[in-house]
């Protein structure tokens, strides 16, 4: 996965004619941590998991990025996702660097007590390298507000009251109003801005969404509320399709009771993979990486792809889609709403002051629309796709910040100065 991220980075670096030495400085993680998490299961057996935290870059501020609990989590995933966080925080212009981490566990096979032991052991092992001014984790795949509370609690045992050590906490425990839905909301704003370019609104398009977790379900709800027709969704249990539009409130209610979309009576059961390639105007992959690859890209029918997940298109698939004239709104722009409201949460924690939800939404909307316009304008002006434009914008911001901190301004090409 890191190879894919580096390929995207290098496309933009080529466009900027970046010096090899600067590429190395900007693409190499500053710290990679791997810890052995040994805990006891409820039945007294020893359990062994690996935990990771990769801190990619801190030129623009403390490092920021999610924690993923997934059997496939490894150093390669963490490094790739950490790098994406550096570019994402720069695209949306929040004062952070990038990090990412996680544990190679399957929470669906663990009791709450086991998950708590694994999480707090992880925190005790990485506590020296995280903190409100160093590196601030947040939720990602299979982690949520409850797990963030456990992290805050464990960290605070060592360092005193520290709500700013993690974001994505419950609203009743120093979380921010509007954080849970922020990534899905940001996806919706990015899509709205994109549709405006062709004089359309959400109510003019049909949408297919892969993944119905935090990001996918909130994106579905918000797009549906604005008149968008969600014709297909999928999750780990499979897919659903209804060409007249799925009843999203009823589906959300079903998933709240049954955990998965499978069995919902308001749509036809389809294969999960068919949701990516079925008829729709807009495809929103909101599950895991490499959903669209060279193998299935030829069958994708959407004219707009919004990368709500991180890395859902392989570089080959991206190149083919862009070559076909499909607009791809890249992950480092499309899903930046989450880290944006994480920044608002952290700011509230530091100031010990809670914002009204309306303020969170208003500031998120402004940041997302501005970021979309900056990327789209750069793409048009420089004749590149939106992903390259987003990386170019981000690299410029990070490189300038790095050069102000370190004696490397001689490595900056003229296009990055001033």
Catalytic positions: 100
Q: Which stretch binds ligand NAD (CB under 6 A): 7-15, 122-130, 139-147, 391-399?
A: 139-147
Answer yes or no whether residue 335 interacts with ligand NAD by CB under 6 A. yes
Sheet hosting strand 268-270, strand order edge to edge: 268-270, 238-241, 229-235, 206-210, 282-285, 304-306, 327-329
Runs of H (alpha helix) within 103-207: 112-126, 145-159, 182-196
DSSP secondary structure code for residue 356 in this structure: P
For the CA atoms of 205, 208, 214, 220, the dihedral, rounded to the nearest 10 degrees, stands at 30
List 212, 343, 355, 391, residue binding ligand NAD (CB under 6 A): 212
Answer yes or no whether residue 103 interacts with ligand NAD by CB under 6 A. no
Residues in Cβ contact with 167 at an 8 Å cutoff, skipping those fewer than 6 apart = 64, 136, 137, 138, 148, 175, 176, 179, 341, 342, 343, 345, 346
List 119, 310, 349, 403, residue binding ligand NAD (CB under 6 A): 310
C-beta of 51 vs 211, nearer to ligand NAD: 211
* 272 neighbors 234 (Cβ within 8 angstroms): yes
Q: Which stretch binds ligand NAD (CB under 6 A): 5-13, 154-162, 208-216, 347-355?
A: 208-216
Which uninterrupted H or E stretch holds 304? strand 304-306
Answer yes or no whether residue 286 interacts with ligand NAD by CB under 6 A. yes
List 287, 305, 317, 368, residue binding ligand NAD (CB under 6 A): 287
Which uninterrupted H or E stretch holds 37? strand 31-40
Answer yes or no whether residue 234 interacts with ligand NAD by CB under 6 A. yes
Q: Which stretch binds ligand NAD (CB under 6 A): 145-153, 187-195, 281-289, 368-376?
A: 281-289
Q: How many residues bind ligand NAD (CB under 6 A)?
A: 24
Long-range contacts of 252-258 (CB under 8 A, 24+ apart): 252/217, 252/220, 252/221, 255/212, 255/217
C-beta of 215 vs 416, nearer to ligand NAD: 215
Q: How many residues does the chain have?
A: 418
Give the residue closest to ligand NAD by C-beta: 213
Answer yes or no whether residue 101 interacts with ligand NAD by CB under 6 A. no
Q: Which stretch binds ligand NAD (CB under 6 A): 109-117, 170-178, 284-292, 375-383?
A: 284-292
Single out the residue of 134, 146, 64, 153 nearest to residue 345, CA to CA. Answer: 64
Answer yes or no whether residue 141 interacts with ligand NAD by CB under 6 A. yes
Answer yes or no whether residue 214 interacts with ligand NAD by CB under 6 A. yes
Q: How far is the CB of 363 from ligand NAD (least distance, A)?
A: 17
Answer yes or no whether residue 183 interacts with ligand NAD by CB under 6 A. yes
Kindly tell me the burial class for residue 1, based on how many C-beta atoms sit within 10 Å of its own C-beta (0-12, 13-18, 19 or more). Answer: buried
List 65, 139, 315, 330, residue binding ligand NAD (CB under 6 A): 139
Q: How far is the CB of 143 from ligand NAD (least distance, A)?
A: 8
For the CA atoms of 3, 302, 338, 400, the dihedral, rounded to the nearest 10 degrees, stands at 50
Residues 248-277 close enough to bind ligand NAD by CB under 6 A: 272
Answer yes or no whether residue 371 interacts with ligand NAD by CB under 6 A. no
Single out the residue of 97, 99, 121, 88 nearest to residue 53, CA to CA. Answer: 99
Answer yes or no whether residue 142 interacts with ligand NAD by CB under 6 A. yes
Answer yes or no whether residue 71 interacts with ligand NAD by CB under 6 A. no
Beta-strand relationship, 238-241 and 229-235: antiparallel
Q: How far is the CB of 17 from ligand NAD (least distance, A)?
A: 31
C-beta of 25 vs 122, nearer to ligand NAD: 122
List 140, 181, 345, 385, residue binding ligand NAD (CB under 6 A): 140
Single out the residue of 19, 151, 147, 138 nearest to residue 88, CA to CA. Answer: 138
Single out the residue of 416, 383, 376 nearest to residue 398, CA to CA. Answer: 416
Could you list the residues that contact ligand NAD (CB under 6 A)? Answer: 139-142, 183, 210-216, 234-236, 272, 286-288, 308-310, 335, 338
């Amino acid at each position: 996965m890191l190879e894919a991220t580096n390929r995207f980075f290098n496309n933009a670096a080529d466009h900027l004619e970046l010096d090899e030495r600067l590429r190395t400085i900007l693409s190499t993680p500053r710290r990679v941590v791997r810890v052995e998490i040994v805990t006891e299961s409820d039945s007294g057996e020893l359990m062994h998991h690996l935990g990771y935290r990769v801190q990619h870059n801190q030129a623009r501020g403390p490092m920021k990025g999610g924690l993923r609990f997934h059997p496939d989590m490894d150093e390669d995933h963490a490094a790739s996702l950490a790098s994406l966080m550096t570019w994402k925080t720069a695209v949306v212009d929040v004062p952070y660097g990038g990090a990412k981490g996680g544990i190679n566990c399957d929470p669906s096979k663990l009791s709450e007590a086991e998950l708590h032991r694994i999480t707090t052991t992880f925190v005790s092992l990485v506590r020296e390298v995280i903190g409100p001014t160093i590196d601030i984790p947040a939720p990602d795949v299979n982690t949520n507000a409850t797990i963030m509370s456990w992290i805050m609690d464990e960290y605070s045992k060592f360092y005193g009251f520290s709500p700013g050590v993690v974001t994505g906490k419950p609203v009743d425990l120093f979380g921010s109003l509007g954080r849970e839905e922020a990534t899905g909301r940001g996806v919706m704003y990015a899509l709205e801005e994109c549709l405006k370019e062709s004089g359309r609104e959400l109510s003019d398009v049909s949408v297919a969404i892969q993944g119905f977790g935090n990001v996918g379900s909130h994106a579905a709800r918000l797009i549906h509320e604005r008149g968008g027709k969600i014709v297909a969704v999928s999750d780990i249990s499979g897919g659903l399709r209804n060409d007249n539009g799925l009843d999203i409130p009823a589906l959300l209610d079903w998933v709240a009771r049954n955990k998965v979309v499978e069995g919902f009576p308001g749509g036809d059961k389809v294969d999960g993979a068919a949701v990516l390639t079925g008829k729709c105007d807009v495809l929103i992959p909101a599950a895991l990486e490499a959903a669209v690859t060279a193998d299935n890209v030829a069958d994708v029918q959407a004219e707009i792809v919004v990368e709500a997940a991180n890395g859902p298109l392989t570089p080959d698939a991206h190149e083919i889609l862009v070559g076909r004239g499909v607009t791809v709104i890249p992950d480092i722009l499309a899903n930046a709403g989450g880290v944006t409201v994480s920044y608002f949460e952290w700011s509230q924690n530091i100031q010990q002051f809670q914002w009204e939800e309306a303020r969170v939404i208003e500031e998120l909307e402004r940041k997302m629309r501005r970021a979309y316009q900056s990327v789209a304008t750069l793409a048009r002006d420089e004749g590149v796709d939106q992903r390259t434009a987003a990386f170019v914008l981000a690299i410029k911001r990070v490189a300038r910040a790095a050069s102000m901190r370190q004696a490397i301004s001689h490595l900056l090409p003229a296009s990055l100065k001033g």
